[in-house]
A and B are shown apart, each in its own frame.
Chain A
């Protein structure tokens, strides 16, 4: 019976988000949403995907990775090569972007996930920089001056990607596989002694996270007219990390909420370039003093609507 109830909640969230999608689509089609707001919307979507994918690695599996911009870059460049150099359709470019990043995730994950805590953080930071420096030195993709990309990212693409990302990560998390990942976060030694293949699950979480970061990269690249290695420095990794920490480590809805909130704040602060970074930093400092556990703690939005006793993580409204 609970399965049926849960399935109902799931379909309700899907329908609500589809309605939201349709409204925005009509607004864009009718021309009542100006390009500035449209662009903000794309950014929110891309940031949600990034936050959700890093949430799986840090919030669920507890692997402190700060090289997420590296996966973003791999996805962005791989997809840009597909559309611009090889004249492939955007759909294929998206998938290739994701797969390329997932492959990068496997290559970096298998050796470095033996490391723990600070050491892993430094290794992933190094990975991000390696990707950036490599792109800087490959003439095929334009080197430092970057690569021209046509604008192909549209609202339906962003929306579909966000929806799929959230459903996949939510479904993974609320299964025995997700529990295995959480047990690694909670206590790796104990997880090991409970028969969990910890290395395998760390790598899986890393690869899935990297895959979606790659998708985000593809959307990101095709939302600009040019991509440059300098867009993917370690500050970008920290921006994504902030989303996850601010949302609450371990909460998918928190990560999504933080992505929306911070993107909106950054966008509106662009009018005040002198004080922008000061205000942004202040928001973060105040937030961490008064709510160190993040916006949502480890809770999910749906658990607030449920009666006491519900422990499962439900799908949340994917309003992007």
Chain B
């Protein structure tokens, strides 16, 4: 279909919890710059698949590679540093930290000043912290969150917390962004804002996005390609139009027709 080399290549990946095969034999290829959706009924294994990509779970079979580099058995923080960053289904902000500190945590792995330089308050510490501060403020401005920078993350309204979580994931400078149900619990107004935000970040950052979502208008509206998972297996893939009319997908969502 496309001649470019894939950014992410997932080959027959699966994971087994005891006797339960939560995900099995999944093949996914993502190309640079794509916005791809991942849908499926509840319990289909979508979030488990994200956890496999980010190293939270280690796959029991198959391989995952980013830009040709094998990611298997790397701890989650290394995978993030390699360029996969994510948000969570149930928001996981650092709630007691301020908005700006949430973003600064994402910059941590790029910081150069050592623990010793911080304890002794050497000039390199101040320089490093100042750079982080400035970078974080610039960053928050893009997301219209700079006026809340000293607010505790937990005190933000729901929609803004989602926005901050996406901002934080992007601050880690990913090549691939995984969004796990970003529109969950949002009202239509907030969902609309979110769609604009996703469009904006794709434009601003050179980014590939994989999106789990239940909000069909959103998925059909923004995604270029869609993968469908059911019972841990890939049952369909293709353009939104094809997916909409795929009998297998309809069956998975609505159940079999009574004959």
Chain A residues near B (Cβ < 8 Å): 3, 168, 171-172, 175-180, 182-183, 185-187, 189-198, 204, 250, 298, 309-311
A-B contact pairs, 22 of them (CB 8 A): A3-B126, A168-B119, A171-B119, A176-B104, A176-B118, A176-B128, A177-B115, A177-B118, A179-B101, A180-B108, A182-B101, A186-B95, A189-B88, A190-B88, A193-B56, A193-B85, A193-B86, A194-B106, A195-B80, A195-B172, A196-B105, A250-B96
What 20 new A-B contacts, CB under 8 Å, besides A186-B97, A311-B101? A3-B126, A171-B121, A172-B115, A175-B113, A176-B107, A176-B113, A176-B128, A179-B101, A180-B105, A186-B96, A187-B95, A191-B105, A193-B77, A194-B105, A194-B109, A194-B172, A195-B108, A195-B109, A197-B77, A198-B77
CA distance A3 to B120 in the complex (A): 15
User: Which chain A residues lie closer than 8 Å to B120 at the CB level?
Assistant: 171
Query: Closest residue to B150 on the A side, CB-wise?
Result: A311
User: Which chain B residues lie closer than 8 Å to A178 at the CB level?
Assistant: 118
CA distance A252 to B101 in the complex (A): 19
Is B129's beta carbon under 8 Å from chain A? yes
B121-A183 in contact (CB<8A): no
Is B21's beta carbon under 8 Å from chain A? no
Partner of A183, one of B56, B94, B115, B125: B94
B77-A192 in contact (CB<8A): yes
Closest Cβ of chain B to A169, distance in Å, is 9
A179-B105 in contact (CB<8A): yes
A172-B119 contact given A186-B97, A194-B168, A197-B77, CB 8 Å threshold = yes
Query: Closest residue to A198 on the B side, CB-wise?
Result: B77
Partner of B96, one of A182, A192, A195: A182
B92-A189 in contact (CB<8A): yes
Partner of A175, one of B98, B105, B125: B125
Interface residues of B in 90-148 (CB under 8 A from A): 92-98, 100-101, 104-109, 111, 113, 115, 118-121, 125-126, 128-130, 132
Question: Which interface residue of B54, B101, B118 has the most chain A CB atoms within 10 A?
Answer: B118
Partner of B106, one of A3, A195, A310: A195
B150-A309 in contact (CB<8A): yes
Is B76's beta carbon under 8 Å from chain A? yes
CA distance A309 to B150 in the complex (A): 6
Is B81's beta carbon under 8 Å from chain A? yes
CA distance A196 to B130 in the complex (A): 20
Is B75's beta carbon under 8 Å from chain A? yes
Query: Closest residue to B104 on the A side, CB-wise?
Result: A179
Closest Cβ of chain A to B116, distance in Å, is 10
The 7 A-B pairs of least Cβ separation, nearest first, read A175-B118, A195-B109, A186-B94, A195-B80, A190-B92, A192-B76, A183-B105
B77-A195 in contact (CB<8A): yes
Query: Closest residue to A204 on the B side, CB-wise?
Result: B115
A190-B94 in contact (CB<8A): yes
Interface residues of B in 193-222 (CB under 8 A from A): none
Query: Closest residue to A192 on the B side, CB-wise?
Result: B76
Partner of A176, one of B95, B96, B108: B108
User: Which chain B residues lie closer than 8 Å to A3 at the CB level?
Assistant: 126, 130
Closest Cβ of chain A to B161, distance in Å, is 12
Partner of A196, one of B108, B118, B125, B132: B108
Closest Cβ of chain B to A5, distance in Å, is 13
A196-B109 contact given A171-B118, A182-B97, A186-B97, CB 8 Å threshold = yes
A196-B77 contact given A182-B96, A187-B94, A311-B101, CB 8 Å threshold = yes
CA distance A193 to B109 in the complex (A): 11
Question: Which interface residue of A183, A193, A250 has the most chain B CB atoms within 10 A?
Answer: A193
User: Which chain A residues lie closer than 8 Å to B115 at the CB level?
Assistant: 172, 175, 177, 204
B132-A176 in contact (CB<8A): yes
User: Which chain A residues lie closer than 8 Å to B94 at the CB level?
Assistant: 182-183, 186-187, 190-191
CA distance A204 to B118 in the complex (A): 14
